[in-house]
Structure 1
Amino acid sequence: MTVGQQTADETATPARGWGLNTWDSPWLNFKFLLGVAIVGLILLFGLLGPLFWDTDLAYTGAGPLNKPPVWQEGGLPEHPLGTESNGRDMLAQLILATPSSLKVGFLAAIIGMGIGMVLGSVAGYVGGWWDHVIRTLSDSAVTIPALVVLVVIASYVQMTDTTAMALILAAFAWPGPTRLVRSQILTLRERSYVRMAHLSGAPALEIMFVEMLPNMLPWLAASLTGGISVAILGATGLEVLGLGPTRVPSLGLIINQATTNAALVRGLVWWWLPPIIILMVIFVGFFLMTIGLDEIANPRIRQFSSSRRERSAAGEAPPVEHMDGGSAAGRDAALEVDDLHVHYFTPRGEVIAANGVDFSVRKGEILGLVGESGCGKTTVAMAILQVVQAPGRIVQGEVRIEDQDLVSLSGKELREVRWRDLALVPQGAMNSLNPVTPIREQMGDAILAHENIGRVELEQRILGLLNDVGLPERVINMYPHELSGGMKQRVCIAMAIALNPQVIIADEPTSALDVVVQRVVAQTLLEVKDRLGVSMVMIGHDMGLQAQLVDRIAVMYAGNLVEVVPVESAFSEPLHPYTQLLIESIPSIKERKPLNVTEGLTHDLRNPPPGCIFQFRCQHVEQICRERRPDLVERDDDHLVACWLYEPERHALIELEEA
């Protein structure tokens, strides 16, 4: 790269995705908006139709009999959709019938949802006998053949209007919402913010309506739209059978009259086909709204393919000379990360979580990846494992193990690589182990997914792994809830080394553990590394722990790598201003002094500034820092830093070129 040439970050922006990920907000979900538009147009047709068409033509004798639509021979302009055997205008009938059918659906679904919300809330939040009784009733109601019962009821009940029909349908619409609300309440009441509201003395109704209900709105809305479709379908079925109200026009009643008068046999297509088309359009509209709301409630329904490289439409980014994170990377690297870009495509913009990250991990080395919360450490780890979740996506870069690029592998090929060549020690072992499965089965599943061995050999293998991490043999038959936090973490370490991988990603393996257990887990990791010769990427915040475990430290800030340094030099001679502030923020037990806190906040990752990313918080910022981004260059032996303070020659040459 020549002096004065801009970096790839400045000259080429990785490809942005403009597919379905653009529609991720509640108001910008394409399917939801399309469904709303379809239903809205049908509703406007029924509500505003009387303003533009004479609905008196919908009554018997209002026009000539059996006239075809205007585009067929014999059609009349005053009856554009034709008339039926009683002289009623089809367009006028559809205008009056459409709101009637929608009214039944809305009334039945809203009443059923209201009943379901009340019963589900009581069952989920109060619990006890209330939960037992309501759950039994709702589960039993689901097994009842609703259509058969509706036919029997409608045969004996004289329904004079759509409200009566809606009430009958609502009697069968409440079990689904009840079960949905109960399940959501049971989940939400265990959340920390709900517990805090309870401890603060908030009344039950406030907790339910302020803390819980807003989190359930997408699910409730999806259930409501689905309920409306089901209610319209049920009402139409009764009307087609002649069991609905006859005084009020409805789409089902039109189909019933067409069937009674043999319209299909007589070739009067314009009599029975238009109401069916309107019903189909209504169902499609509500279906799109339902799946759109499902996607809003659970964005993971639409998964991006994070195992494929995303490039711009113009082609590959121009070739750029990248530092490899270490002078020996090309000779003895177990893992190489080259120009890694990971973006999160959110409704509010494209968040650049990893921006051209380059480093390597040597064989038998532990590399520490440090930085403040939100700097991109875990995102890089997930990208290495190729498990970046939506709305995140790897848009550029390579991750290599033994010259094999993981980004280009298929899902099947990745399953072969994971755990055999690349394993993970997750953050928070208490959430990483299945609570209802014994340790024997969980460890056995990981081994059997890659090797075909017998039960006796498998058990001996598991016992050996548990012994390797300092756990007694009895743990093999225990469940996760019977283990302490440190024991769970060591089980995760045992699972990670089960297939002797080349590289282990340890994502804050000692978080949420007390200092004594942290020491045990750290010692276990060191023993594993020394015995197996495995390489590790150790992610964390604890600089003291990093000092005891790692060989080199890679410092990240705002998605960028700013310094890669041997651990001794990191504490004795840090170069980057951000690394210096990290070291100075560590409390000292030797002398009493105020902590040096890093002032300010990270810039908006959706809109990184030109120049150095640390310019807003740096005490040494100069004009060039605001204009050009420094490269990660080697200043001393095996010590790389991205800072203009350590490039005086290049700084002078750039000023000379600009002059």
Structure 2
Amino acid sequence: MSAKSPRAMSTGLFRRVLRKPLGVVSGVVLILIVGGSLAARWIAPYDPLAQDFSIVKQGPSAAHLLGTDSLGRDILSRLLFGGQESLGGVLVAVVTMLIIAIPLGILAGYVGGLADRIILRVVDVLLSIPGTIITLAVLAIFNNSMFVAMVSVGVLASGAFIRVFRSAALSVRQELYIGAARVAGLGRLRIMAAHVLPQIRGVLLVQVTLFSAATLGIQTGLAFLAFGPPPPAPTWGGMVAEAASLIQSSPWLLVPSGGIIAVTTLALCLLGDALRDANQERFTLAGLERGARPVRAGAGAVLVPDAATVPDADREEALAPNPDALLSVRGLTVGFGAPGRETTAIQRVDFDIRPGEVVGLVGESGSGKTVTALALLGLLAGNGRITGGSIRLAGEELVGMSNAELRTVRGARIAMISQEPMVSLDPSFRVGYQIGEAIRAHERVGRAETQRRTRELLASVRLDPAVADRYPHEISGGMAQRIAIAMALAGRPELLIADEPTTALDVTVQADILDLLRTLQEETGMAIILVSHDWGVVADLCSRAIVMYAGEVVERAAVSEIFAAPRHPYTAALLRSNPHGARPGEPLPTIGGAVPPPHEWPVGCHFAARCPLATEACRQAPIDMAHLPGHRSSRCIRIDALAAELSEVAS
């Protein structure tokens, strides 16, 4: 097994370019032009400054392949030497632009916030500066120095490219594999360099080639206006200027001097298109290497009273974290929006997870399950943030930690796997490289140990180590989910959050993944929070369940107790609509209506509009959590009516 590096991936990119005729032709043309200019001293047939008035303005011949100019100088030799100045100026401008635009563009797009606003203001200033006037002023100040002029061109052009790279980074930032990298504990710089930059490479290559072509026009245009090296030093622009003055008497002179600029510009554009297409093929079946072969492939939660249900004198004691719990969450509230105008997405969430415990977090889409899970890791998207409550991991408070401090928690102590394993993997890298990256994020190990651990992790999730040599698009969904689990285990976490890990898989693969999670939990002793809307999955894996609806916990109990006698109308409705309990020939019961969005939450019970047992009292004020015998809790004032109804149905 070998985890392939970015260098190997770049080799694959150029191999795909070689399959494109236009890419090959344009690349060969550029190599000949650049190579000829660099080797001009050795391959030019004549001294570019040598004059012979006996052969002025001659056309192509055996002695002078491209003819001679008005002073009898060999045109081919002057083009070769002139390319050094012209192409060198292009290189200076491009490098200057990239040094500025790439880091600032990715920083603005990925980090956002204050950094984004500051960078965009700088960009606005750069775009408002008249580039032509500044370039001419620089030439006047620095004694016609073309080097300084090209640096100024690169600086002024960087503003537009910062915006381009920022837009590309913004789209990449939303990908789940970026979130997975953050969960694994990777730092911002590593994510930007190893995951964001490769994804914008297609945009980068196209923009570089187009800017190179445009810069060549600027450079030769300045030389045409007699800026830069003074005559008789050869430059492409200077040769065009001379040919233009003699176009009536010697039109041929414009063909080689203007043709070399046109051919170079066209070759740059065509090569950019080929590179872009080849980069896109990396993520499609068209990018598969020829001849490649596919690989075959316990204890209960400690429940505490809700803060809103106890007298003020007892509230501090009720909110105290459980010292025996691995994870102790108290009064967790999350809001989205500007400070002071937040829209609350979850509120008053309390629960404990003990070491080695498997707890199900159940509810319909929109209930707040995933937001709760992401809040535990400090990975709330956009302008989301924790506005209240406490999260303690083994007694250590996580709320208020900086990103740097949270990175020591993500992956190493709390890991997460998502319901979309395929998009959680970076398509730019082979599987083995990504697992190895997760290992190196938490352990200082060498290449050999990284490979050994990668093989070990793949074996632990029942995969052939040869899978490490595949890209994500070459594996199945079930294999991708196993790989995501392997990456989550790389940091040896104490708690694993599994966000609907079987939703995107077929029934047979679902059973395999659940069996794998059960085995890994028994072998490692880690606790698991299983986010799901499938009661069958919860019953198969979990000992306790936390039911959420519209941002609130509505019931907490052992799974067996919930199945036997639910104590909240929403839980009972979920169980009735469970497909696993459907009777042949009878329609499956459904819950009328939909989960209300946060800005439409009612004052009273959030489920009242859909609840057949709701009364006016349910709608008048927030419902407190009722604590029942056997460490059960329910956010309902109609528990007795529900129990009576269920007893009548059972009888």
Q: TM-score, normalised by structure 1?
A: 0.52
**Paired residue for 1:376?**
368
Aligned counterparts of 1:567 and 1:399: Cα–Cα separation in 2: 24
Change (3 A) 1:137 1:418: closer
**Paired residue for 1:578?**
570
Alignment check: 8 A CA contact 1:322 1:358 kept: no
- 1:446, CA displacement in angstroms? 1.4
1:427 to 419, 438, 443: 419
1:606 and 2:562 equivalent? no
Alignment check: 8 A CA contact 1:350 1:606 kept: no
SS at structure 1 position matched to 2:448: helix
* Identical positions, percent: 36
**Paired residue for 2:450?**
458
SS at structure 2 position matched to 1:408: coil
Alignment check: 8 A CA contact 2:323 2:395 kept: no
Aligned counterparts of 1:322 and 1:597: Cα–Cα separation in 2: 41
**Paired residue for 2:137?**
none
Change (3 A) 1:641 1:445: same
Letter in 2 for 1:427: Q
1:138 and 2:206 equivalent? no
- 1:642, CA displacement in angstroms? 0.5
SS at structure 2 position matched to 1:611: coil
**Paired residue for 2:315?**
321
Residues matched between the structures, number: 391
Letter in 1 for 2:213: A
- 1:152, CA displacement in angstroms? 4.5
Aligned counterparts of 2:637 and 2:437: Cα–Cα separation in 1: 51
1:594 to 575, 582, 587: 587
Alignment check: 8 A CA contact 1:421 1:501 kept: yes
1:635 and 2:628 equivalent? yes
Q: Which runs of 4+ in 1 moved over 6 A?
A: 29-33, 134-137, 153-157, 322-325, 346-349
1:222-242 superposed Cα distances (whole Å, 9 cap, x missing partner): xxxxxxxxxxxxxxxxxxxxx
Change (3 A) 1:625 1:397: same
Change (3 A) 1:410 1:348: closer
Aligned counterparts of 1:589 and 1:403: Cα–Cα separation in 2: 44
Change (3 A) 1:628 1:153: same
Aligned counterparts of 1:605 and 1:319: Cα–Cα separation in 2: 31
SS at structure 1 position matched to 2:466: helix
1:58-77 superposed Cα distances (whole Å, 9 cap, x missing partner): xxxxxxxxxxxxxxxxxxxx
Aligned counterparts of 1:568 and 1:322: Cα–Cα separation in 2: 32
**Paired residue for 1:84?**
none
Alignment check: 8 A CA contact 2:366 2:595 kept: no
SS at structure 2 position matched to 1:505: strand
Q: 5 Å matches for 1:114-513?
A: 138=210, 140-144=212-216, 146=218, 149=221, 152=224, 321=315, 330=322, 332-345=324-337, 350-513=342-505
- 1:411, CA displacement in angstroms? 1.9
1:290-343 superposed Cα distances (whole Å, 9 cap, x missing partner): xxxxxxxxxxxxxxxxxxxxxxxxxxxx99838989x9x825321112111111
Unaligned runs of 5+ in 2: 1-111, 128-159, 165-202, 228-240, 245-264, 284-311, 642-651
1:621 and 2:614 equivalent? yes
Alignment check: 8 A CA contact 1:337 1:359 kept: yes
Alignment check: 8 A CA contact 1:323 1:632 kept: no
Letter in 2 for 1:640: S
Aligned counterparts of 1:626 and 1:397: Cα–Cα separation in 2: 25
SS at structure 1 position matched to 2:356: coil
- 1:139, CA displacement in angstroms? 5.1
Aligned counterparts of 2:209 and 2:393: Cα–Cα separation in 1: 57
SS at structure 2 position matched to 1:321: helix
1:548 and 2:540 equivalent? yes
SS at structure 1 position matched to 2:510: helix
Letter in 2 for 1:646: I
Aligned counterparts of 1:538 and 1:331: Cα–Cα separation in 2: 22
Alignment check: 8 A CA contact 2:334 2:345 kept: yes
Letter in 2 for 1:615: A
Unaligned runs of 5+ in 1: 1-23, 40-108, 114-130, 158-171, 191-317, 649-659
SS at structure 2 position matched to 1:597: coil
Letter in 2 for 1:523: D
- 1:525, CA displacement in angstroms? 0.4
- 1:601, CA displacement in angstroms? 2.7
Change (3 A) 1:430 1:346: farther
SS at structure 2 position matched to 1:539: strand
